[in-house]
Amino acid sequence: MTRIGWYGLGSMGLAMATNLQRHLAKKSLNLVYSNRTMARGDTLKTLGAVPESSFEKVVAQCGIIFTMVSNDSVLQHLISSALRSGHPLKDKIFVDCSTVHPATVGLTVSKLREQQATFLAAPVFGGNPIAVDGKLVFAIAGPHAAKETVKPLIQDVMGRKVIDCGEDASKSSLLKIAGNIVTVNLMEAVGEAQVFAERTGLGTGPMEELIGEAFGAVAGGYSKRLTTGAYAPSLDSRPGFGVSLAIKDANHALAIAEEHDVQLPGLQIARENMVAAREYAGECLDSSSMYGVLRQQAGLEFWNEKSRKGGK
Ligand SMILES: NC(=O)c1ccc[n+]([C@@H]2O[C@H](COP(=O)([O-])OP(=O)(O)OC[C@H]3O[C@@H](n4cnc5c(N)ncnc54)[C@H](OP(=O)(O)O)[C@@H]3O)[C@@H](O)[C@H]2O)c1
């Protein structure tokens, strides 16, 4: 049985790797993991996973290697380091779950193919609580045999559903970017409705009840990020879905849309508001922090009673 490796223990990666380790432990196997900040893996280690000091060392030991990192440049850096390491990569399967541009996927596929290794793009839908529950939706694309090898490590382990986007790995990345057009617009819509509710005296409580009841659990969850203050968490915490990650996703969608003469006006407004939020309150913000800017535009403070009260 090939060893399974993992790199990237952020808000999503740690929860996903934890579920994978629990699954492997039932078969007396242990995940080999690494992360830039190794201490993030301490709980994983207590579950039996094995720490390694670098991505190259994980790759050297494992036949299937998952990555869950911030963005395109981090993924490209990791893949380059594996290629430079001199370890044979033949027959290894790299599975990236991050949200990256389809062109990054295409480039990575070609580089790994030269070494007779396979790359699967397997981005995910759902935030940290859904990752913790092992109920993410995965979109997966790449060579058939590799997908069939990897799916049992995903279905009912880290995810509730695997959408197969075919053999062209860039297609699942495109689906992820398209899905985030909905995510970011929905956060903007919920933020606008909650500011409306507060300023008109309707109140955020009944608004939240309606959003959850009438528009579903995802919209209800976005409302909770506002009313619990999670849109602007304390400076010593890691946001659920960092604002810069959502800006990256919006930028990818807008760039692809432009190439195809598609207008995304709603997404453009949401991106402007996220950028303004980051300028005002820094990196430690959730993607829903456009709410703070919408509050300011309505004459309210950026912060609400449950959020942090300042700082960048
Ligand atoms: N959060 C969500 O709700 C959500 C949902 C679906 C998809 N996504 C996507 O999933 C990916 C991960 O999201 P996340 O929320 O888990 O992000 P995150 O909490 O910011 O974690 C990012 C991960 O990348 C690592 N990293 C960042 N910069 C690095 C660098 N220069 N070199 C090496 N490692 C680096 C981080 O290491 P450290 O631990 O050392 O910082 C961490 O392991 C992103 O592409 C995001 O767009 C997120």
Give residue-wise pLDDT tens across range 188-216.
999 999 999 999 999 999 999 999 999 99
Q: What is the pLDDT of residues 204-263, one digit of tens each?
A: 999 999 999 999 999 999 999 999 999 999 999 999 999 999 999 999 999 999 999 999
- Residue 61 resides in a domain: yes
Measured in Å, residue 63 CA sits from the centre of ligand 1 at: 23
Give me the helix-helix angle, 243-259 and 170-199, nearest 10°: 120
- Residue 152 resides in a domain: yes
- Residue 311 resides in a domain: no
Q: So what's the pLDDT on residue 138?
A: 98
Beta-strand runs (E) in 32-165: 32-34, 50-51, 64-67, 93-96, 118-121, 124-125, 136-140, 159-164
Residues 159 and 38 in one domain: yes
Residues 284 and 189 in one domain: yes
Ligand 1 pocket, mutate which of 70, 124, 181 (most atoms under 8 A from CB): 70
Q: Whose CA is nearest to atom 43 of ligand 1?
A: 8
Residues 104 and 21 in one domain: yes
- Residue 98 resides in a domain: yes
Q: What is the pLDDT of residues 107-145, one digit of tens each?
A: 999 999 999 999 999 999 999 999 999 999 999 999 999
Q: So what's the pLDDT on residue 231?
A: 98
Asked which of 167, 182, 216 is the last residue of a domain, the reply is: 167
Q: So what's the pLDDT on residue 212?
A: 98
Ligand 1 pocket, mutate which of 6, 11, 72, 249 (most atoms under 8 A from CB): 11
Across the strands, what pairs with 140? 164
Measured in Å, residue 197 CA sits from the centre of ligand 1 at: 33
Q: Whose CA is nearest to atom 31 of ligand 1?
A: 74
Structural domain total, the chain: 2
Residues 54 and 78 in one domain: yes
Band of pLDDT at residue 60, cut at 50, 70 and 90 = very high
Distance, CA of 134 to chain centre: 14
- Residue 93 resides in a domain: yes
What CATH number has the domain bearing residue 228?
1.10.1040.10
Distance, CA of 98 to chain centre: 6
Residues 36 and 153 in one domain: yes
Distance CA 94, CA 146 (A): 9
Q: What is the pLDDT of residues 139-196, one digit of tens each?
A: 999 999 999 999 999 999 999 999 999 999 999 999 999 999 999 999 999 999 999 9
Q: Are strands 136-140 and 124-125 parallel, antiparallel or unpaired?
A: antiparallel
Residues 52 and 122 in one domain: yes
List residues with catalytic annotation.
Answer: 176
- Residue 305 resides in a domain: no
Q: So what's the pLDDT on residue 103?
A: 98
Q: So what's the pLDDT on residue 306?
A: 98
As a whole number of Å, the CA-based R_g of the chain is: 20
Residues 245 and 109 in one domain: no
Residues 14 and 152 in one domain: yes
Distance CA 151, CA 2 (A): 15
Burial of 272 per CB tally in 10 Å (0-12, 13-18, 19+): middle
Q: So what's the pLDDT on residue 36?
A: 98
Residues with CB under 6 A from ligand 1: 8-13, 35-37, 40, 68-71, 74, 98-99, 124, 127-128, 238, 240-242, 245, 249
- Residue 126 resides in a domain: yes
Residues 11 and 145 in one domain: yes
**The pLDDT of residue 1 is above 90:** no
Asked which of 167, 187, 217 is the last residue of a domain, the reply is: 167
Residues 18 and 162 in one domain: yes
Q: Are strands 64-67 and 93-96 parallel, antiparallel or unpaired?
A: parallel
Residues 212 and 110 in one domain: no
Measured in Å, residue 41 CA sits from the centre of ligand 1 at: 14
- Residue 155 resides in a domain: yes
> Could you list the residue range(s) of the whole structural domain that residue 288 is in?
174-298
Residues 64 and 117 in one domain: yes
Measured in Å, residue 35 CA sits from the centre of ligand 1 at: 10
Asked which of 137, 167, 197 is the last residue of a domain, the reply is: 167
